[in-house]
Amino acid sequence: MSEHLYATLLPGITNVTDRARCYAFYPWFVWKFDREAKNKGVDELIRMFRRAECLHTLIGINHELETDNEWAHGGGLVGRDRLVAAGRRISEGKAIRLSQFSELDATTENRYFKNKLGGLGQYYLGPLKELLILDGDTRRGVKYTDQWGATLAELFDSEVAGSEFFKAVREDQITLPVVRSLKSFCPCNLRRNKKERDAIIDLLFCRGQGELNREIELERRNTLLLVLDYARRVRNFKGQPVEPDGFLSSTYARCFQDGTRWVVRPILENTIKGWGIYQRHELLAVAVQGLFWAGLAALADGGYVRDVRSYAQWFGRCVICERAGVGEPRRLQPSGDSHIVACCTSVVSLSC
């Protein structure tokens, strides 16, 4: 249910599509591959793409290490955790081979990603197909669309050293001068390429596309507008960061951390209600997991209850009362934050 709500309220964006510039980098690679590669077979596309995705991440990591700022550069790029050590070796002046990490039969400790199409196949391809940027799969190959795919690819290409990037991918050996010369590929450069940035904004916010005739486009635009409204208001409260958890909590409670009510424009009313329902389902999932954990822990001690009502009463005595400081201490205590117990309390109250 939660996955369906998320996809309905924010189509084309997921909780694992971390970098907006990847929405332009991926169609650019396919577009450039069509122009640079002599062998345009699917296997060659996959082989070259995996190297390219590794190089893309290493460029971000290098910029991150030079600036000591993870999320502005390498954070969220595919395979970052596996490739950080290689990035450090490059920064120390050593050379590495992309194929050591990109080959599908590379050792488990080296291979940057198991999916044939790397992070594109695992995280981005579905959303990019939904947004009419890319199409295809590992069997047929990946194609850019004439609509958004070609537009984003050409705008991306206008500000990067594309031929040098493909030369590095073909030659396989990566050094510090190479990654520094390709710094234009780092996600931080999205702010410098105004045309590329504006095109991504147009795409996601459905800006300049005439009347919105697709419900999914309207849902995505309204969610992004709601997020911006949240960020604008939260910046007025000292010490309250702008983060996803805070956004979801505020949609659920319809107020901010300091108790200020969150009143939105009528056009966003259904959207904030939808995200409030999403968060309610998430809290229910946490509550059920807490109840399940407590039951498993009790079974390990030989516990047994006759029915749901008996279990609810046992849970109230052994967990809720103890956390509230009522009754004698018990050994059984759920780990985690107090909000887990609060959620469980609500579920138990419905069972009694």
**What is the rounded (10 degree) CA torsion for 343, 345, 349, 352?**
130
Q: Which two tokens stand for residue 205?
A: 């916010």
Beta carbons within 8 Å of 104's beta carbon, 6+ residues apart: 50, 111, 116
Per-residue pLDDT reduced to its tens digit, 63-107 = 999 999 999 999 999 999 999 999 999 999 999 999 999 999 999
Beta carbons within 8 Å of 248's beta carbon, 6+ residues apart: 275, 278, 279, 282
- Determine the Cα–Cα distance for residues 53 and 26; give it in Å rounded to an integer: 9
Flag whether 281 is in a domain: no
Whether residue 176 is found in the same domain as residue 74: yes
The 3-state DSSP class for residue 103 equals: coil
- Whether 211 shows a pLDDT value over 80: the answer reads no
Flag whether 25 is in a domain: yes
Per-residue pLDDT reduced to its tens digit, 25-42 = 999 999 999 999 999 999
Whether residue 52 is found in the same domain as residue 196: yes
The residue with tokens 């389902």 is 281
Whether residue 73 is found in the same domain as residue 191: yes
| Of 332 and 102, the one with more pLDDT | 102
User: Looking at this protein, which amino acid is placed at residue 76?
Assistant: G
**Which of 80-89, 213-222, 297-306 is modeled with the greatest confidence?**
80-89
- Determine the Cα–Cα distance for residues 200 and 196; give it in Å rounded to an integer: 6
Whether residue 34 is found in the same domain as residue 165: yes
Flag whether 218 is in a domain: no
Whether residue 18 is found in the same domain as residue 164: yes
User: Domain end: 205, 231, 248, which one?
Assistant: 205
The residue with tokens 């005739």 is 213
Whether residue 155 is found in the same domain as residue 55: yes
DSSP label at residue 302: T
User: Domain end: 205, 239, 257, which one?
Assistant: 205
Flag whether 273 is in a domain: no
Whether residue 54 is found in the same domain as residue 177: yes
- Least confident interval from 86-95, 190-199, 202-211, 342-351: 342-351
For residue 55, CA distances in Å to 73, 74, 86, 182, 284 come to 13, 11, 11, 9, 41
Give the length of the chain. 352
- Determine the Cα–Cα distance for residues 324 and 340; give it in Å rounded to an integer: 13
User: Domain end: 205, 226, 248, which one?
Assistant: 205
Flag whether 215 is in a domain: no
Per-residue pLDDT reduced to its tens digit, 111-136 = 999 999 999 999 999 999 999 999 99
Q: Which residues of 268-289 are buried (b: 16+ CB within 10 A; e: fewer)?
A: eeebbebbbbbbeebbeebbee
- Using alpha carbons, select from 220, 204, 206, 205 the residue that is nearest to residue 22: 204
Per-residue confidence (pLDDT) for residue 25, from 0 to 100? 98
The chain-wide mean pLDDT, for the chain, equals 88
Flag whether 312 is in a domain: yes
**Which of 288-292, 306-310, 319-323 is modeled with the greatest confidence?**
288-292
Residue 343 has, within 13 A of its CA and on its CB side, a CA count of 20
Across residues 267-292, what is the average pLDDT? 92
Whether residue 304 is found in the same domain as residue 193: no
Flag whether 193 is in a domain: yes
Per-residue confidence (pLDDT) for residue 336, from 0 to 100? 40
Task: Report the domain count for the chain.
Answer: 2
- Give the domain range for residue 79: 14-205
Whether residue 99 is found in the same domain as residue 198: yes
Flag whether 190 is in a domain: yes
In the chain, the DSSP E strands lie at 96-97, 134-137, 141-144, 173-174
| Of 288 and 229, the one with more pLDDT | 229
Whether residue 25 is found in the same domain as residue 130: yes
In 131-196, the DSSP E strands lie at 134-137, 141-144, 173-174
Per-residue confidence (pLDDT) for residue 344, from 0 to 100? 53
